[in-house]
Amino acid sequence: MSGMNTLTFREICRLFCCPPCPSQIASKLAFLPPDPTYSVMLDESGNNYKLHLTERAEWQYTDRELKNIEVFVTQTSRGNRIPCMFVKCPHSAPSPPPKYTLLFSHGNAVDLGQMSSFYVGLGARLGVNIFSYDYSGYGASNGSPTERNVYADIEAAWQGLRQRYGISPEHIILYGQSIGTVPTIDLAKKYECAAVILHSPLLSGMRVAFPDTKRTWCFDPFPSINKVAKVTSPVLVIHGTEDEVIDFSHGLAIYERCQKAVEPLWVEGAGHNDIELYSQYIDRLRQFVTVELRE
Residue 18 predicted with pLDDT over 50: no
CATH code for the domain of 17: 3.40.50.1820
Domain of 118 in residue numbering reads as: 9-294
Catalytic one of 106, 239, 250, 272: 272
Catalytic one of 141, 243, 247, 250: 243
- Give me the mean pLDDT over the 51-71 stretch: 96
- Count up the domains in the chain and report the number: 1
Task: Identify whether 130 is part of a domain.
Answer: yes
Could you read off the pLDDT of 172-228 as tens digits, one per residue?
999 999 999 999 999 999 999 999 999 999 999 888 877 777 777 677 789 999 999
272 has catalytic annotation: yes
Task: Identify whether 4 is part of a domain.
Answer: no
Contact assessment for residue 83 and residue 113, using Cβ atoms and an 8 Å cutoff: no
Task: Identify whether 245 is part of a domain.
Answer: yes
Q: Report pLDDT for 19.
A: 42
Task: Identify whether 253 is part of a domain.
Answer: yes
Could you read off the pLDDT of 95-104 as tens digits, one per residue?
788 999 999 9
199 has catalytic annotation: no
Could you read off the pLDDT of 88-144 as tens digits, one per residue?
998 766 678 899 999 999 999 999 999 999 999 999 999 999 999 999 999 999 999
186 has catalytic annotation: no
Catalytic one of 132, 178, 200, 204: 178
Could you read off the pLDDT of 225-279 as tens digits, one per residue?
999 999 999 999 999 999 999 999 999 999 999 999 999 999 999 999 999 999 9
